[in-house]
Amino acid sequence: MTVTGTVTGAEDDAPVPGVNILEKGTTNGTITSANGTYSITVGTDAVLMFSFIGMVTQEVTVGAQTLIDMVLSSGATDLEEIVVIGYGTAAKASLTGAVASVRGDELKQSPSTNFSNTLVGRVPGLFAYNRSGEPGYDGATLRIRGANTLGDNNPLVVIDGIPNRSLERLDPAMIESFVVLKDASAAIYGTQAANGVILITTKRGRVGKPTITLDMNVGGQQPTVIPDMADAATYSTMLNEISYYNNPGGGLNQVYTPADIQAYADGSDPWGHPNTDWFNTVFKPWSLQHYENVSVRGGSDRLKYYMSFGNKFQDAVYYNSATYYSQQDFRSNIDGKITENIDISFDVAGRSENRHFPTVSQWDSFRMLMRGKPNMPAFWPNGDPGPDIEYGHNPSVTTTDATGYNDDKNYYLETNLRLNVKIPWVEGLAVQGNFSYDKRFRYQKVWQTPWYLYTWDGNPEHITEKGQRGLAAPQLTQRANDDYKLTYNAYITYDRVMSGHTIKVMLGTENQKGLNNWMYAFRKNYVSSEIEQLFAGATDQFMSNDGSASQFARRSYFGRFNYNYANKYLVEFVARYDGSYMFDDAWGLFPGISVGWRIVDEAFWANNIAFFDEFKIRGSWGQTGNDRIYYDGSLQEYKYLTLYGFVNNRSYVYNVNEDNKLLYEQAVPNPNVTWEVASQFNVGINTAFLNNQMTFEADYFHNLRTNILWRRNASVPSSAGLSLPPENIGEVLNQGFEFVLGYNGSSGTGNVRYNISLNGSYAHNEILFWDETPGIPEYQQSTGAPMGAALYYEADGIFVDQADVDAYPHWAGAQPGDVRFRDVNDDGVIDGLDRVRQDKSGLPFFTGGLSASVYVGNFDVSILFQGTTGAVAYINPESGEIGNYYNDQAVNRWTPTNPSSEYPRAWNRDNEYWRSQGNTYWLHNTNYLRLKNIEIGYNLPSKAVNSIGIEEFRIYANALNLFTFSPEKLIDPELTSGQAYPLQRIINFGLTITF
């Protein structure tokens, strides 16, 4: 029978959307719509459970009722929430580890086309930063509790129980929950868990009639910050100043006359004296993005289904852009019940990704935009493209398809077959197995053609001359990758409750293997740009082909034991015995233990401290591993062929001049390379008070990473000859704290509900050992400093005049207007011994988020502020004869008439010592607070839409990166230079229709 009804709040009688309605003892469930309505199919003996965060859970027996309206009152906590953990689930109240979770509905509020960007600021302990906004490569870098190693810091991603899947291109509409394991709770994943684990669960079917949801939105993007560069008159004046500083006898107008400067300023001669704003010439005001998704969800007791189909497109910032990203995806999750004790599931997900670019990289284009001289034309007044800035590059052309194209297509297929068998003759005993096959195929085609720019020789007819740039003739590169990954696991679980004692045991095994194949072909000297196929290119010395393959494998045995007495005393043991293909000595054991004490249920506490509704203390210790060890950017796998090199041609054997291929040893091997080990300690508390409306969680962590791969600099001389191998000698300590404070409430009068959450995370790392170079002073050593902290001269202001120069130790040739360096060791000389190891890096040591939602009738508003502190960026533009200056640095520069400026004099590229020598003058504080996300929505009245067969009709607008507050004004504070594709501000408008 079908039961329907409406759920409302006791305080305001307003409908409550998102209430979980579950048939007790089963997985059959649904949630209420935006209007608080629901529909579920159950039997007459069913018991329905109504639960919602911040409200008291209610149960009701169905009987003969087909209409059940429910009123929920405030006061419940989220302790009953079920959280996904490694190879299982657990009630939040029973967790003893540092585990954070986010509901999928929250992640849908972001208009970002990259899923990783929806996570920023929402999860305590999850550091996220973005270094590029380029379509297709705009993902955030994720770090759980900051950085822990000199090598790979990426967390393990597990999607629907299958490890090593990618999260960036997931559709948030398909996500049910997002969970982060941050401490010893991750030990169940062994050698891949040292950097933490991210668990993502996708949506599944529910018992009930089919529900069809259509979601679509369209919006525009623009850079959060466009660099403000000097105009032509200012730039030309600065070049005059540079010439004067180098040759004072030549006067102040050695390059440009006053008439030239005036013509640049007033625009009276656009042919001979242009004033070009390169960024605004190349960038359009807004670029398009759009998204569409349709899903179907429903099922019966025997068969439940969830299917979703999506499409998204993201354009680039350039006029006539050759850059875009498009994606099509689908997901089908099917759950079937074969018998009362046997369940089977089959999941299939597919995705097509197309990244399309010009053949000139975005790094080259943005470098040229920064170097674009404002007194050069991007376009001549007749519309022809102007001359090149350098090496044939003019971004008004090289960002278009005039240079050819780089078309990169990736196709993914991910499958999972799951079987769950309850053993009927042993209560609480079950066996589960998973078999997963993932496939990727990549096809890239790079067709490079010459392009054309125009020059003008000053002729009065303004006739421009067309000139070829780039290649002399077209050339073609094609690459193909064919990869697969096979994962299968099986585990047995035992779950019993006996007289207040709860025991859970899980034992399992997992195997994973994969193969990566690639091939490559190159041809050049095409006689025509019309035939872009391999066969049409030249052969012999104008061609090349290559290809190879690699494989990987892991085998694991793991287990977990949980004990819970009276829901007060909690203990968990986990262990994993891992074998990795990475090392000769392949096997290692990774244990973990965690304990919890729910003091709130103790009589002495309840009778004396009634203020708290929940108070739990927990602690954990464990060891996890990292077999993804990198050195110099290269994965250090078990090496046998890669340590050898080939000599081709011109090899002589027994004085016979013949071509041969010889194999030679090019490096000393290290057969003892092994995984990094993370020893993790964590203590934390979970509390709830004010009738469970307010919650507070806090954790302190201490992570020691050992066995980090690094080369010896001090104890082994460089005269050994061969390249010496890196060894497992590095040690890093990372420690800090994190917290989250939340409040859920509603008004006593009126239908208003609201919630607010504040989270913060602090993580500070320092290198304990990495074999310092002998003889360097302590203040230059990396030991004791954060990873990534650079060695710089310390800037100490600007030399105001010659007397100022003469009064301080200075670099040879220093003059007024130059940057003054501090004499750190007080020896009266500025040299390499005055460089100081910094105490900050590009990774912030604190990140936080403030989110809030308000529901008033059919209207709702959600906002997310996010910020970081403690990071720095070295922003050092290439300026002078080679390129332009930031306008702020140009307008406020030192001159003889402006000697008190905070900026130095005009400089020419790296000719000045304070340009060529790294120093803190160019080290910028990149703290920021950002309105990361805002969404405003309205649900049309149910009476109006129900009459036309629509269950819910919602319209909304949302935005990403809307406002940023930061002391850094030159570029976006998340970027590290102006020579990168800018981060995007996105404003979207959409609608969601549910049938």
| 721 vs 337, residue with greater confidence | 337
Measured distance CA(816)–CA(795) in Å, rounded: 15
91-95 average pLDDT score: 86
- Residue 9 pLDDT > 80, yes or no? yes
Residue 717 is predicted with a pLDDT of 62
Mean pLDDT of 329-339: 96
Q: Which residue has the higher pLDDT, 928 or 672?
A: 928
pLDDT of res. 54: 57
Contacts of 763 by beta carbon, 8 Å cutoff, 6+ apart: 127, 145, 146, 147, 734, 735, 736, 845
Give pLDDT tens digits for 654-666.
455 555 556 666 6
* Partners of 985 in the β-ladder: 222
Name, of 19-28, 165-174, 526-535, the range with top average pLDDT.
165-174
Q: Residue 712's pLDDT is what?
A: 79
Task: Yes or no: say if 805 and 819 are a contact pair by the CB < 8 Å rule.
Answer: no
**Domain covering 2-72, topology:** Immunoglobulin-like (2.60.40)
**Mean pLDDT across the stretch 643-652?**
55
Instruction: Say yes or no to pLDDT of 718 above 80.
Output: no
φ/ψ of 880, rounded to 5, equals 110, -140
Per-residue confidence (pLDDT) for residue 79, from 0 to 100 = 60
Copy the structure tokens of residue 213. Answer: 């949801």
Rounded Cα distance, 388 and 278, in Å: 12
Rounded to whole angstroms, the Cα distance separating 282 from 599 reads 63
| DSSP collapsed to 3 states, 666-729 | CECCCCCCCCEEEEEEEEEEEEEECCCCEEEEEEEEEEEEEEEEECCCCCCCHHHCCECCCEEE
| Amino acid 126: pLDDT | 95
Which tokens go with 742? 């939340």
| pTM listed for this prediction | 0.89
Residue 694 pLDDT > 80: yes
Give tens-digit pLDDT for 112-144.
999 999 999 999 999 999 999 999 999 999 999
Instruction: Tell me the average pLDDT across 777-798.
Output: 95
Average pLDDT, the chain: 91
Helix-then-strand count for the chain, H and E:
11, 52
For residues 578, 147, 986, 760, the Cα torsion angle rounded to the nearest 10 degrees is: 110
Q: What is the rounded distance in angstroms from the CA atom of residue 333 to the CA atom of residue 898?
A: 69
Q: With bands split at pLDDT 50, 70 and 90, how would you rate the model's confidence at 76?
A: very low
Q: What are phi and psi of 761, to 5 degrees?
A: -140, 130
Beta pairing class for 465-469 and 451-455: antiparallel
Q: Which of 924, 927, 967 is nearest to 838 (CA)?
A: 924
Chain segment 246-298, per-residue pLDDT in tens: 999 999 999 999 999 999 999 999 999 999 999 999 999 999 999 999 999 99
pLDDT tens digits along 348-394: 999 999 999 999 999 999 999 999 999 999 999 999 999 999 999 99
Reported for 25-31, long-range contacts at CB under 8 A and 24+ positions apart, including other chains, are: 27/335, 28/206, 28/207, 28/301, 29/206, 29/207, 30/206, 30/207, 30/208
Q: Where are any strands of DSSP class E within 711-845? A: 727-746, 752-769, 791-793, 795-798, 819-821, 835-837
pLDDT of residue 651: 46
Q: How far apart are CA 792 and CA 841, in angstroms?
A: 12
Mean pLDDT of the region 145-151: 92
Delimit the domains of the chain by residue range. Answer: 2-72, 232-274, 785-994
Q: What SS3 state is found at 318? A: strand
Structure tokens at 178: 């997002």
Evaluate if residue 952 carries a pLDDT over 60.
yes
Q: What pLDDT is recorded for position 650?
A: 46
Q: What is the mean pLDDT of residues 951-956?
A: 95
Higher pLDDT, 847 or 636: 847
Does 901 have pLDDT greater than 80? no
How confident is the model over 403-423, as a mean pLDDT?
97
Average pLDDT over residues 897-908: 89
Q: Please classify residue 581 by burial: count the beta carbons closer than 10 Å to its beta carbon, then call 0-12 exposed, 13-18 middle and 19+ buried.
A: middle
Percent of the chain with pLDDT over 90: 74
- The model's confidence at residue 967, banded by pLDDT at 50, 70 and 90, is very high
CA distance 878 to 667: 38
Closest CA to 592 of 624, 559, 622: 622
| Residue 141: strand pairing partners | 129
**Where does residue 487 rank: exposed (0-12), middle (13-18), buried (19+ CB within 10 A)?**
buried
Q: Band of the pLDDT at 652, cuts 50, 70, 90?
A: very low
What residue has token string 């030159």? 970
